[in-house]
Copies of this chain bind each other. A is one copy, B any other.
Amino acid sequence: MKEDPSSQPARARPVTLATIAGHAQVHISTVSRALSDDPVGIGSDTVKRVRELAAALGYRRDVGAAGLRTGSSRLIGVLVPRLTDLVLASIYESIDAAASAAGYGTVVANTLDDPEHRRARLDAMLSRRIDGVIIGDSHSGDTAAHELRSRGVPYVLVMRTLEGHLSVTTDDYRGGRLAAQHLLALGHRRVGVIAGDQLASTGRERTLGFRREFESAGYSLPEPYVVASAFSTPSGLTAGAELMTLPEPPTAIFAVHDLLALGAMGAIRDAGKRVGADVALIGYNDLDLAGTLPVPLTSVRSDLAAMGTQSVEALLRTMRGEPTRSVLLPPELVVRATTPPLRA
């Protein structure tokens, strides 16, 4: 290990409009206009000269200072429960890409589903005068959306819905029905659901859709067979264990999140059964690890990238004051090895 050269050169004084103006022998405002997207009222040769000078000097517009003047920080805030949740990480990735393409930066905050922490992070965002917020962690009984509305800060919900607020989500109710239809078609009659957080619309809707479809086919889904949980692998393990220790354990399990399904796999194995052959399993979101698991996982696919992109588009429209409607993306069932045909 070499010695670390911790002594770094003093930070160079950044080159500003004034620097360029000095070199070009024009007024600073002329430089500003020449560098703007469409330089109106400035001679084309001046524009060329200024731009070359800017490039040569390594000029970089101070967007903070510009924001002070224009009132727009060109920054959008993103609230997520946890970035270590692959689903949210994927959505955030596409949000960031879309925002970046539109000339906006993003700041993301883990709220950990903790109201106090969330407040603090949202406060920090507002202190940076963000232009809009994408809320990915909305909870029933959540106040952030209302507060933003009353403050007049544009926002849009993603991933999870909330009655009366603009949102971009997948049709979770329909996704739940797809899972139920598949299991019913395979002949399963006694099934379990790992339902996720019931305060989140995702957990609620997916479970509800599944239940409705199942019951409307004439079968019942008793309470002990539906167990709430967090959205992590460990809680999938405990919830799965709970299901497998029922007097009559289910022959199939619907987990409303792939990570829950991953945990359930462990629980099924711990119960001495084989995933797929003995107990069918369906996950949700179709993370790219789902297809490469030891036993490839059947999952309800939702287009996370589209959700991210469209939420940015919706937010930008709202920021421009254009009317915008919520969007519901269609889910799709991807059948793999964890839901084989029932043996006779």
Task: Please give the distance in Å from A229's CB to the nearest CB on chain B.
Answer: 13
- What's the least CB distance linking A64 to chain B, in Å? 5
Q: Is A249 an interface residue (CB 8 A)?
A: no
Pairs A–B under 8 Å by Cβ, sample size 22: A4-B164, A6-B166, A6-B318, A10-B152, A12-B151, A60-B127, A62-B68, A62-B129, A64-B64, A64-B73, A83-B83, A84-B86, A84-B89, A84-B93, A100-B121, A105-B107, A233-B288, A234-B288, A263-B292, A266-B292, A266-B293, A268-B294
A interface residue numbers (CB < 8 A to B): 1-2, 4-12, 14, 60-65, 67-68, 73, 82-84, 86, 89-90, 92-93, 96-97, 100, 105-110, 121, 123-124, 126-129, 149-154, 163-166, 232-234, 236-237, 259, 262-263, 265-266, 268-269, 275, 288-289, 292-296, 318, 322-326, 328
Q: A128-B105, A288-B232 are in contact. Are A8 and B265 (CB under 8 A)?
A: no
Sorted from nearest, which 8 A-B pairs have the closest CB atoms?
A11-B152, A265-B294, A233-B289, A4-B166, A64-B64, A9-B152, A233-B292, A84-B89
Chain B residues with CB under 8 A of A73: 64
Q: How far is the CB of A18 from chain B (nearest CB, A)?
A: 14
Which of B86, B105, B262 is within 8 Å of A292, CB to CB? B262
| B contact residues around A2 at 8 Å (CB) | 163-164
Chain B residue contacts of A232, Cβ below 8 A: 288
Q: How far is the CB of A325 from chain B (nearest CB, A)?
A: 5
Looking at the assembled complex, report how far the CB atom of A149 sits from the nearest CB atom of chain B, in whole angstroms: 6
A267 nearest CB across to chain B (Å): 9
Of B86, B266, B296, the residue contacting A296 (CB under 8 A) is B266
Closest Cβ of chain B: how far from A156's Cβ, in Å? 9
Taken together as a complex, chains A and B put the C-alpha atoms of A68 and B16 apart, in Å, by: 12
By a CB distance below 8 angstroms, the chain B residues around A152 are 8-12
CB distance from A112 to the nearest CB of B (A): 9
List B contacts of A259 (CB < 8 A). Answer: 289
User: What's the nearest-Cβ distance from chain B to residue A92, in Å?
Assistant: 6
Cβ A4 vs Cβ B325 within 8 A: yes
Q: Note all chain B residues with C-beta closer than 8 A to A292.
A: 233-234, 236-237, 262-263, 266
Chain B residues whose C-beta falls within 8 Å of the C-beta of A6 in the assembled complex: 166, 318, 322-325
A79 vs chain B, min Cβ distance (A): 13
Q: How far is the CA of A86 from the CA of B85 in the complex (A)?
A: 8
Q: How far is the CA of A265 from the CA of B232 in the complex (A)?
A: 21
- Report the separation of the CA atoms of residues A295 and B266 in the bound assembly, to the nearest whole angstrom: 7
Residues of B within 8 A of A288 (CB): 232-234
Chain B's closest residue to A62 (CB) is B129
Give the residues in chain B near A322, CB-CB below 8 Å: 6
